[in-house]
Structure 1
């Protein structure tokens, strides 16, 4: 008699390679423009959250990136929230990375980025937000505590990410271990050079290290969604989809994930073979929506994982019952980025009313009017 196959519910930590009977396949969606690709992903995330039907005790766990690529996704999500189409009240988020040594209220910290572009505009409770602390006294303990918090929430349901021109996702740059978890990572010079545009084009101001989730952390998510837009991402997409699994192109690790979804604009497919593009387009043309191909949405019980030795009490996950009425001062977001907004622009709402100096007023000037995609984008992050 064949041995019964274990289901992911029976394991404290879900193994993506021991997936249920759902079909495993690489899903690729191609849209003409970067904006269309971003809107598709935003709609996809909303559909997954709604299908999950999260509650306070059974939240939807969402992994999030920063950088140029996801800005339009966040703006679209905020618009849907303001229209009443979606709530993030029962969503728990884990961000991919954060610079080491950069103050939280620095305008280029990923704390500031997330509050500026997303958290300050929706109804997500502050205690549901998890971002790595790049100023922790013990960085190794901070990384271990981050992994422990993910495990205590039953793992990440959907991890959204971008990809760098060299094929890296998060700060897992070429040569990163494909079995890595959250850790301290020294940044490559190319990444420092690319990110210098956010620091007045002065490479000396760019942090040399970052905390980042590892490739295995991403692979342990039940579903991974990657956005890739622009011709400068074309080689990375080609290596990730058509090349072999290679630690020099960490995006390629997703070939081994049971439920990856890559959403590209037309420019990002320029290096792919014509038959590859036509294959994925034909799948969609047959009426097979990527949303029908994702894994079944079943709540995974939380697993108790003690915090590692060396992690401070302030790094532990805050529970709703112990949430302070005001966020501690060290979580305040820089409010000196005062910019005027047009009437139709996004403005901070519920989060700003619950946090002291929390909301950076509005979106930056590049988000006004039509969305323009930075051709160097996504180097900063979630890649």
Structure 2
């Protein structure tokens, strides 16, 4: 059963999330971090930057591997996940640019890029801490619900509900990419520890389904029930059904 932590306030949510990551880096400065984007971890990354500025944590020897990236967006596009990570974390701490890895969504051959990212992860070894959010349909990374799931990094066609949910970051849904490169389920579950974070009343139902419902590929997040070391960090609204 996952270790479920219910934060009372947004500040506490961010403090706990950042504290888990900072504690790992303090005990293992060369940690391999699996990072996620989206609105949920923004405050956590902001708190990590504050801890770095206070001298409490360093990323100088760490390496990061992001979950996913849109296909077709250049790295400097305002909504690319590479740009997100640079703006929210990488450029604000002492992590070496060459130690930050995000799937190259602008690669002209995304299938080959995905295969190379799988090799990169294999060479790196086991991720020490994999950070995850969860989509309203239960996706983790961009592993969308379906009859079967890919194990390793692959190109995925985004579910229409995912594109609608992400349209708020673009001028219109027409600008939201149709495909993404994402780590597969096997790669995610290979991590030594997983931190699943969710905020807001709209995530309550899927969090309950992921943690208490049947383990099924129709809810990819439910596969986290099979992992021996999962921390679930939720606010009061997201955790109201668990």
Q: Normalising TM by the smaller chain, what interval?
A: over 0.9
**Residue 260 in 1 paired to residue 230 in 2?**
yes
The residue correspondences of 1:196-207 to structure 2 (distance < 5 A) are 196-200=167-171, 202-207=172-177
Select 1:60's aligned residue among 31, 48, 52. Answer: 31
State the Cα deviation string for residues 109-153 of structure 1 (Å, max 9, x = none): 111111110001000001101111112132222112112111212
TM-score when scaled to structure 1? 0.61
Q: CA RMSD in A?
A: 1.3
Aligned: 1:236 with 2:206: yes
Match of 1:184 in 2: 155
Select the residue among 185, 188, 203 that pairs with 1:215. 185
Higher relative contact order, structure no. (Cα contacts within 8 Å, ≥ 6 residues apart): 1
- The number of aligned residues is 242
Which protein is richer in strand relative to its size?
A: 2
- Decide which of 13, 17, 20 is 1:44's aligned counterpart: 20
Asked if the contact 2:135/2:162 (under 8 Å) is kept, the reply is no
TM superposition outliers: structure 1 runs of 4+ over 4 Å: none
> CA-to-partner distance for each residue in 1:8-46, whole Å, 9 max, x for gaps?
xxxxxxxxxxxxxxxxx4211111123322220110111
Residue of structure 2 in register with 1:133 after alignment: 104
Secondary structure of the equivalent of 1:268?
coil
Shift of 1:190: 1.0
Query: Please, which of 86, 111, 123 is the counterpart of residue 94 of structure 2?
Result: 123
Report the CA distance shift for 1:176/1:97 in structure 2 as closer, same or farther (over 3 A). farther
Show structure 1 runs of 5+ residues with no match: 1-24, 273-383
Q: Is the 8 A contact 1:178 1:253 kept in 2?
A: no
**SS of 2:126 mapped into structure 1:** coil
Partner in structure 2 of residue 302 of structure 1:
none
2:121 to 146, 150, 163: 150
Q: Radius of gyration: which is bigger? A: 1
